[in-house]
């Protein structure tokens, strides 16, 4: 069996360092917002070339806290609109809703799975205050076009970078430093994954960073002095220790992912399978390698028969989810087709050459 993602093997590479990191954490006697979190925040800010990194509990909270911070600063108010992709994980939209804002969904582009940039301007209204591009599957959205549009309409740009750790644009600027602020997830399956939940915000805005630090810790700027109704959303000390260890290996892991992607792209020749478009650049870190098939059920049965792991990212479009009844009247034919046809095949920096070759052979035999 080729697993979809073998997290045990991914993390076994760092077991000795993890044990040392855990012992250091244990010896410190400091368990919440201590030296481990501060160290990781400094390391990740330096990695992304941003002034600030604020560790939070998860990727959903990272996006929500950015929006809460901008509300506190007066840039956004309750009910304002945030433009977001129709083809994304529902957490992106939940963050907007939880912050008391209105998500405005944009149709997807078949080539990139991101915003249809030709349609994007038509979704801007007088109530629009921010654009939230999603670097889906590890591929950067076209931030040059999005930032220009945002500048022309005086809009904030908030990256959902939960799947794009280490992706770089043509100017060698990384995800997390391509807009006004960015939210990251360190869920275990991410390219930079913790051994539990975790997230972070990156930004160059001093006031926003200060506000998010307050909101993540019950709304306190000084212990027991609560200025706002905040959350309890803090990156855990032990997860920060593990992330600091894994960050040193992120670029090498991303390079391995791109190598496997190139092998898939050159080796899979089955005309029944639509492969992702990739130009060989570092703007894609292949958090996922997603193919499209017309008859997904038969394709999955074929993968199962030949013991090749797989997942669907994602089976139901956000506007069709039971949790968002107010969006059920919307129609996004491209996004809906993607959600009906996509299948994620094994992609991991610890895959062996034999495993890669078998995946290629199994897909070609479909």
At 32-56, the pLDDT tens digits run: 999 999 999 999 999 999 999 999 9
Q: Give 137-184 pLDDT, tens digit per residue.
A: 999 999 999 999 999 999 999 999 999 999 999 889 999 999 999 999
250-364 fold:
3.90.1150
The encoded tokens of residue 41 equal: 């925040």
pLDDT surpasses 90 at 110: no
CA distance 211 to 132: 19
Q: Give 184-232 pLDDT, tens digit per residue.
A: 999 999 999 999 999 999 999 999 999 999 999 999 988 899 999 999 9
Distances in whole angstroms, Cα of residue 345 to Cα of each of 19, 123, 193, 265, 362 = 32, 33, 19, 12, 11
Q: Which residues are bridge partners to 84 per DSSP?
A: 105, 132
Cβ(162)–Cβ(189) below 8 Å:
no
The pLDDT assigned to 111 comes to: 86
Does domain 7-247 match CATH 3.40.50.720?
no
Question: Interior CA angle at 357 toward 355 and 359, to 5°?
Answer: 70
Q: List the chain domain ranges.
A: 7-247, 250-364
Q: Give 299-312 pLDDT, tens digit per residue.
A: 999 999 999 999 99
Q: For 247-276, what is the mean pLDDT?
A: 98
pLDDT surpasses 90 at 341: yes
Q: Give 272-286 pLDDT, tens digit per residue.
A: 999 999 999 999 999
The pLDDT assigned to 221 comes to: 87
What SS3 class is residue 307? Answer: coil
Q: Give 8-17 pLDDT, tens digit per residue.
A: 999 999 999 9
Give residues with Cβ within 8 angstroms of 114, minimum separation 6: 85, 87, 108, 133, 134, 135, 136, 139, 141, 142
Percent share of the chain, pLDDT over 70: 100
pLDDT surpasses 90 at 350: yes
pTM for this model (two decimals): 0.97
Cβ(54)–Cβ(286) below 8 Å:
no
The pLDDT assigned to 234 comes to: 98
């Amino acid at each position: 069996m080729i697993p979809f993602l073998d997290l045990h093997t991914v993390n076994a590479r760092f077991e000795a360092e993890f044990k040392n990191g855990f012992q250091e954490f244990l010896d410190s006697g400091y368990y919440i917002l201590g030296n481990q979190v501060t160290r990781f925040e400094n390391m990740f800010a330096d990695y992304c070339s941003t002034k600030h990194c604020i560790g939070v509990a998860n990727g959903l909270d990272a996006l929500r806290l950015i929006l809460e911070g901008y509300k506190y600063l007066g840039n956004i108010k309750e009910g304002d609109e945030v433009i977001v992709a129709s083809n994304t994980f529902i957490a992106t939209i939940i963050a907007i809703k939880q912050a008391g804002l209105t998500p405005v969904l944009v149709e997807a582009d078949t080539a990139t799975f991101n915003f249809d940039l030709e349609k994007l301007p038509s979704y801007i209204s007088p109530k629009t205050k921010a654009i939230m591009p999603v670097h889906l599957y590890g591929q950067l959205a076209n931030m040059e076009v999005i930032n220009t549009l945002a500048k022309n309409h005086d809009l904030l740009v908030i990256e959902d970078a939960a799947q794009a750790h280490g992706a770089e644009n043509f100017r060698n600027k990384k995800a997390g430093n391509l807009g006004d602020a960015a939210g990251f997830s360190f869920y275990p399956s991410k390219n930079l994954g913790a051994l539990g939940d975790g997230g972070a915000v990156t930004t160059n805005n001093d006031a926003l960073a200060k506000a998010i630090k307050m909101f993540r810790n019950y709304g306190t700027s000084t212990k027991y002095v609560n200025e706002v109704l905040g959350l309890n959303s803090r990156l855990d000390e032990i997860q920060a220790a593990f992330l600091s260890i894994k960050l040193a290996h992120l670029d090498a892991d991303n390079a391995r992912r791109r190598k496997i992607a190139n092998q898939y792209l050159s080796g899979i020749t089955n005309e029944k399978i639509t492969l992702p478009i990739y130009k060989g650049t570092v703007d894609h870190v292949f958090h996922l390698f997603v193919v499209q098939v017309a008859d997904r059920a038969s394709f999955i049965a074929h993968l199962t028969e030949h013991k090749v792991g797989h997942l669907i990212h994602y089976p139901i479009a956000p506007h069709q989810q039971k949790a968002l009844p107010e969006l059920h009247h919307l129609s996004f034919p491209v996004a809906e087709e993607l959600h009906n046809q996509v299948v994620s095949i094994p992609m991991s920096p610890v895959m062996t050459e034999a495993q890669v070759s078998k995946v290629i052979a199994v897909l070609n035999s479909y």
